[in-house]
């Protein structure tokens, strides 16, 4: 009997009742890992001999899981899916992974990602392209592509991810699972390879909202090594979920959700938005109030540009330590500066180098105010607008992307201006550090699509509860790839 396609609660119950052993779970997860590796190329490293632990009352104890390859794991290869760190083995473990280990969780593999988290396709990792388990001709999105593919394929009930723009939530949407990034600082970033520090969030990819709460409870906590972390010991996400949402108020944004905003909409987009509006009616049936609001289109149109400028600037600074002298394989050259130039020129993919060039350009003294400071100002306007919405509404609910997973063939990491805001509005959750969760809401052409719920900072319980209530009334929960209706 298979267990890795079940929920954390179900697996824990089976362990407690001695229907299955930890060793049997590990064996099943490793066998499934190898199968999915052949199909989807989801892993950088599959561990040879993970050790079993004692099963306790802790829901995570004895259950296998996956770790995105930008989390430091002591004595286990941690590459960030980059050739510049292809042989890097850390001497310490990220705090959030240590926390999971304290709960008895068992890491069985490290998952492929877009190089250093930069890219939304799952195609730029140094080990190759990650394919979608629902359809191998489609992408998983990124950067947490391997984690999303593995959870969707039933390798284990959850995997860790990181989210700088939508890197947990978009892959979750494309793979028909749940993707959750909590309020900024709820989970320590110590040991996570930094991409853009003011935007980076740790989080989880699961197959249900309750599982997302369980995993986040296991990962979170204040950390002396991360000054942006905060004390959440009095918040128990899992125990707080009750599905009671009567009287809650949701809003959706006309400029993003109205099909008339997209005169060239294809059938996939039309069906996707229709699905979304059907779920708004479901929310009303659950006793929630749902209202349409309007946000200045000019402000919304600025979202992708603000993200590019700020993320590239912070990445350029954060990754200046990648020289080949401290980390990674040393490059050839007769002088130190030649070695460093060769290391960075030959080691990084073209996408990464473009982003570093953009970051360096916008931080130059003559450009900084025009680009970087202006991006920061617009970021503030966007965050202020969302906080204004949160004064009246419990959450903002929006569709994720312009439809199901995009085809790999012919797709490029280039912005489509006609649907740019629809594709990139999740970045606002990173601008403000807001708790944000993506849940499946149906299928288009037999491929999963999703909606997103975002709330105000520190209101994670409310966001998860709304998501749980909606999920509970839909058929799209606990599903693995191949389970399309």
Percentage of residues in the chain with pLDDT exceeding 90? 95
- Average pLDDT score over residue span 71-76: 98
3-class SS letters over 283-333: HHHCCCEEEEECCCHHHHHCHHHHHHHHHHHHHHHHHHHCCCCCCCCCCCC
- Alpha-carbon distance of 215 to 74, in angstroms, equals 21
Q: Is the pLDDT of residue 411 over 70?
A: no
Q: Tokens 């030649």: give the residue.
A: 338
The percentage of residues in the chain with a pLDDT greater than 70, rounded to a whole number, is 98
pLDDT in tens, 111-168: 999 999 999 999 999 999 999 999 999 999 999 999 999 999 999 999 999 999 999 9
What does the pLDDT average to over 430-457?
Answer: 98
Residue 485: band (very low, low, confident or very high) from pLDDT cuts 50, 70, 90: very low
Contact 66, 153 (CB under 8 A): no
pLDDT confidence bin for 410, thresholds 50/70/90: confident
Q: How far apart are CA 314 and CA 256, in angstroms?
A: 28
> Which residues have C-beta within 8 Å of that of residue 316, sequence separation ≥ 6?
355, 356, 359, 360, 363
pLDDT at 326: 87
Q: C-alpha angle 87/117/189, rounded to 5°?
A: 85
> For residue 200, how far is the Cα from the chain centroid?
10
> pLDDT of 287-304, one tens digit each?
999 999 999 999 999 999
Q: What is the mean pLDDT of residues 307-311?
A: 98
Catalytic (active-site) positions: 68, 143, 167
Q: Is residue 440 a contact partner of residue 448, using CB atoms and an 8 Å limit? A: yes
Render pLDDT for 78-123 as a digit per residue (tens, 0 to 9).
Answer: 999 999 999 999 999 999 999 999 999 999 999 999 999 999 999 9
H helix or E strand, kind and range, residue 237: helix 237-240
The predicted-structure confidence for 359-389, as pLDDT tens digits, reads as follows: 999 999 999 999 999 999 999 999 999 999 9
In the block, tokens 């149906």 appear at 442
- The reported pLDDT for the residue numbered 327 is 81
| φ/ψ of residue 94, rounded to 5 | -55, 145
Q: Whole-prediction pTM value?
A: 0.97
**What average pLDDT score do residues 201-212 get?**
98
Could you report the per-residue pLDDT of 235-250, keeping only the tens digit for each? Answer: 999 999 999 999 999 9
Whether 13 shows a pLDDT value over 80: the answer reads: yes
pLDDT digits (tens, 9 = 90+) for 310-333: 999 999 999 999 999 988 889 999
Instruction: Indicate the pLDDT class of residue 412, thresholds 50, 70 and 90.
Output: low
User: Where are the chain's structural domains?
Assistant: 8-247+434-473
- Looking at domain 8-247+434-473, what is its CATH homologous superfamily? Amidase signature (AS) domain (3.90.1300.10)
Mean pLDDT (the chain, rounded): 96
């Amino acid at each position: 009997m298979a267990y890795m396609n079940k929920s954390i609660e179900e697996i824990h119950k089976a362990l407690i009742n001695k229907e299955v052993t930890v060793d049997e779970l590990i064996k099943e997860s490793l066998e499934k890992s190898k199968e999915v590796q052949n199909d989807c190329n989801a892993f950088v490293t599959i561990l040879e001999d993970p050790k079993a632990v004692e099963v306790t009352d802790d829901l995570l104890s004895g259950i296998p899981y996956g770790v995105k390859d930008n989390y430091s794991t002591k004595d286990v290869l941690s590459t960030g899916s980059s050739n510049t760190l292809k042989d890097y083995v850390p001497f310490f473990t990220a705090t959030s992974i240590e926390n999971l280990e304290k709960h008895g969780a068992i890491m069985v593999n490290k998952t492929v990602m877009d190089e250093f988290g930069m890219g939304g396709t799952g195609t730029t990792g140094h080990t190759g392209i990650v394919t979608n388990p629902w359809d191998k001709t489609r992408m998983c999105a990124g950067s947490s592509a391997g984690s999303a593919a593995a959870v969707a394929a039933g390798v284990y009930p959850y995997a860790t991810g990181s989210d700088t723009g939508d890197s947990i939530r978009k892959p979750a949407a494309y793979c028909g699972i749940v993707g959750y990034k909590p309020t900024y600082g709820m989970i320590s970033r110590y040991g996570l390879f930094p991409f853009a520090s003011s935007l980076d969030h740790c989080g989880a990819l699961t197959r249900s909202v309750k599982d997302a709460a369980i995993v986040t409870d296991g990962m979170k906590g204040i950390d002396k090594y991360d000054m942006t972390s905060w004390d959440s010991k009095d918040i128990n996400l899992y125990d707080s979920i009750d599905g009671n949402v009567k009287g809650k108020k949701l809003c959706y944004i006309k400029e993003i959700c109205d099909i008339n905003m997209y005169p060239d909409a294809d059938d996939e987009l039309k069906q996707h938005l229709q699905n979304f509006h059907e779920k708004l009616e479901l929310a009303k049936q659950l006793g929630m109030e749902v209202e349409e609001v309007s946000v200045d289109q000019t402000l919304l149109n600025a979202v992708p540009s603000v993200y590019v400028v700020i993320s590239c600037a912070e990445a350029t600074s954060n990754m200046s330590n990648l020289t080949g002298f401290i980390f990674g394989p040393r490059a050839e050259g007769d002088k130190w500066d030649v070695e460093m130039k060769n290391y960075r020129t030959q080691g990084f993919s073209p996408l990464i180098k473009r982003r570093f060039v953009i970051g360096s350009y916008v931080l130059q003294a003559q450009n900084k105010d025009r680009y970087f400071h202006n991006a920061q100002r617009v970021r503030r306007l966007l965050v202020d607008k969302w906080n204004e919405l949160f004064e009246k509404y419990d959450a903002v609910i929006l569709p994720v992307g312009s439809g199901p997973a995009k085809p790999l063939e012919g797709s490029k990491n280039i912005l489509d201006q006609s649907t740019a805001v629809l594709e990139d509005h999740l970045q606002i959750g990173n601008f403000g550090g807001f708790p944000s969760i993506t849940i499946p809401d149906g299928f288009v052409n037999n491929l999963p699509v999703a909606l997103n719920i975002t709330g105000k900072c520190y209101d994670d319980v409310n966001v998860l509860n709304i998501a749980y209530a909606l999920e509970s009334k839909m058929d799209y929960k606990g599903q693995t790839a191949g389970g399309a209706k």
